[in-house]
């Protein structure tokens, strides 16, 4: 006759398993009563030793134990302090700190946590002090030179060492450019320099390396990671698109740096006109569909907002794809908010005025201002609360019409417009808001010659530029409508643009 024990556990292996289960249960109970002997600490800091840019909106601290969240939040310090406090959220042992605005560029930061406690360890289980470090990208911008050997060439200037570097060769005249998202390269349109004037129809597209090497932190919360930067010395030139069979006109670089859209016109067939798409490592291909006019790639790098007929079409970046949406009221899209939730668009009114609208992805439309002049540019600040605009004031004296540009900021909540800087007697003005939202660059052409004089740089109406100066306007993020002091930069140049 079998005993009850032998009937319940007929096999030796079963008895061994039960013994182990009892032993493990005792160990777990002992740990819960006594507590783990390993002190709580930060296991990983996602921004450690990385260079942070405006697109990096949150860092993560990972702990080795469940922590008392209040004690961590109270003892978390960032030195120097950020201009505006961020927000903290938790997911188990991971704490995410989300910035409310980009960290100022050109600075080194220290993140410390001291005095945090284990959630289950009581007051006596204090974490090991943590000290982490990260730095933001350098404050740097590119521009087109206008004097001497710099005329018509792309130049990089870094505020850190106050040094400038010529990037493009002397045989090319740069017409327009856009930096890649990691600042390692710049995409630009240029023509061969000749004694006689050369038009935009002779443009080729190139890329040039800047020598900047950035190690961005890993992406968080499902955000797409940027492609790795090309580690190359400054000045390495690559041809992106020639002009043998097609004229290259306007172009735009996608926010992900992987796609370029170029407006092209066939040299043999005038009706063959429209946008072409160049994907990284692939040949250019026509987008097809209606040709359209001015355009801008959407923030997700998947579609194109392009003027077509009596409105704006949102077209996927796939050959012959049907439009995703059509906005018949608007003629130009000026800029998108970083997350794509809002856009600044221009409506051409029947009374010959122009209106600046704020349009959301939910279909809401809000008129911000109406003017008899022009609305040349609008850029969202990093927080999405303000819109910096380059506008013109129309002055009529008899039969003489004159447009004087000025820089203004619009509060998107109230719709209030505040002029910041007036720039009278300017035909062309280019402005650029820094990625951290703390400064604006713009140019001021101080002298021009007649059309077709053979100078390296020309205005939009074909007049030759012989001199131009650059200005810096500091911005107070807590008071964007305040009128700060302008700073003149000792850099003669055109079209200043901040590096991302």
Q: Where are the domains of the chain?
A: 4-34, 42-135
Q: Report pLDDT digits (tens) over 291-301.
A: 888 999 999 99
Distances in Å between the Cα of 441 and the Cα atoms of 147, 154, 390, 447, 497 are 19, 16, 12, 19, 7
Q: What is the pLDDT of residues 268-308, one digit of tens each?
A: 998 899 999 999 989 999 998 888 889 999 999 999 999 98
Give 66-103 pLDDT, tens digit per residue.
Answer: 999 999 999 999 999 998 889 999 999 999 999 999 99
- C-alpha distance from residue 166 to each of 153, 156, 206 (Å): 7, 6, 15
Q: What does the pLDDT average to over 241-255?
A: 95
**CATH classification (class only), 42-135:** mainly beta
- pLDDT tens column, 429-441: 899 999 999 999 9
How much is the pLDDT for 21?
Answer: 77
Contacts 24+ apart (CB under 8 A), 477-483: 477/83, 477/84, 477/101, 477/381, 477/383, 477/437, 477/438, 478/83, 478/84, 480/381, 480/385, 480/386, 480/409, 481/409, 481/411, 481/416, 481/418, 481/420, 483/420, 483/421
Percent of the chain residues past pLDDT 90, beyond the cut = 67
Average pLDDT of the chain is: 87
Rounded-to-integer distance, Cα 472 and Cα 485, Å: 9
Residue percentage of the chain with pLDDT more than 70:
86
Measured between alpha carbons, how far is 21 from 31 in angstroms, rounded to an integer?
15
How long, in residues, is the chain? 500
């Amino acid at each position: 006759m079998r005993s009850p024990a032998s009937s319940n556990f007929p096999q030796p292996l079963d008895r061994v398993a039960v013994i182990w289960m009892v032993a493990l249960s005792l160990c777990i109970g002992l740990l819960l009563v006594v507590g783990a002997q390993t002190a709580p600490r930060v296991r990983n800091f996602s921004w450690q030793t990385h260079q942070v840019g405006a697109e990096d909106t949150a860092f993560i601290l990972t702990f080795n134990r469940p922590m008392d969240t209040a004690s961590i939040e109270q003892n978390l310090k960032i030195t120097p302090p950020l201009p505006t406090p961020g927000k903290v959220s938790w997911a188990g042992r991971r704490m995410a700190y989300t910035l409310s605005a980009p960290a100022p560029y050109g600075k080194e930061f220290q993140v410390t946590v001291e005095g945090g406690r284990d959630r289950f360890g009581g007051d006596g289980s204090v974490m090991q002090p943590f000290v982490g470090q990260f730095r933001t990208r350098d404050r740097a911008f590119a521009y087109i030179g206008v004097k001497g050997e710099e005329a018509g060439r792309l130049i990089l200037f870094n505020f850190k060492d106050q040094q400038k570097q010529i990037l493009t060769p002397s045989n090319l005249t740069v017409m327009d450019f856009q930096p890649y998202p990691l600042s390692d390269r710049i995409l630009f349109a240029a023509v061969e320099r000749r004694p006689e004037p050369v038009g935009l129809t002779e443009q080729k597209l190139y890329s040039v390396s800047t020598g900047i090497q950035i190690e961005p932190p890993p992406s968080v919360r499902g955000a797409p990671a940027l492609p790795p930067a090309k580690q190359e010395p400054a000045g390495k030139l690559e041809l992106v698109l020639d002009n043998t069979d097609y004229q290259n006109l306007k172009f735009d670089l996608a926010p992900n740096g992987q796609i370029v859209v170029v407006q092209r016109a066939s040299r043999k067939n005038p009706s063959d006109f429209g946008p072409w798409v160049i994907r990284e490592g692939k040949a250019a291909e026509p987008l097809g569909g209606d040709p359209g006019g001015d355009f801008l790639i959407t923030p997700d790098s998947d579609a194109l907002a392009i003027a077509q007929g009596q409105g704006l079409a949102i077209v996927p970046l796939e050959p012959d794809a049907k439009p995703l949406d059509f906005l018949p009221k608007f003629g130009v899209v000026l800029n998108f908010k970083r997350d794509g939730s809002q856009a600044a668009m221009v409506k051409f009114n029947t009374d010959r005025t122009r209106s600046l609208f704020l349009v959301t992805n939910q279909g809401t439309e809000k008129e911000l201002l109406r003017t008899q002049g022009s609305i040349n540019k609008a850029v969202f600040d990093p927080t999405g609360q303000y819109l910096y605009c380059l506008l013109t004031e129309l002055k009529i004296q008899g039969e003489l019409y004159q447009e004087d540009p000025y820089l203004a900021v619009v509060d998107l909540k109230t719709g209030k417009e505040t002029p910041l800087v007036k720039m009278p007697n300017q035909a062309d003005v280019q402005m650029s808001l820094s990625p951290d939202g703390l400064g604006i660059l713009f140019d001021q052409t101080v002298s021009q010659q007649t059309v077709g004089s053979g100078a390296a740089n020309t205005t939009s109406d074909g007049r030759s530029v012989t001199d131009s100066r650059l200005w810096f306007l500091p911005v107070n993020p807590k008071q964007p409508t305040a009128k700060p002091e302008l700073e003149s930069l000792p850099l003669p140049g055109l079209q200043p643009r901040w590096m991302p």
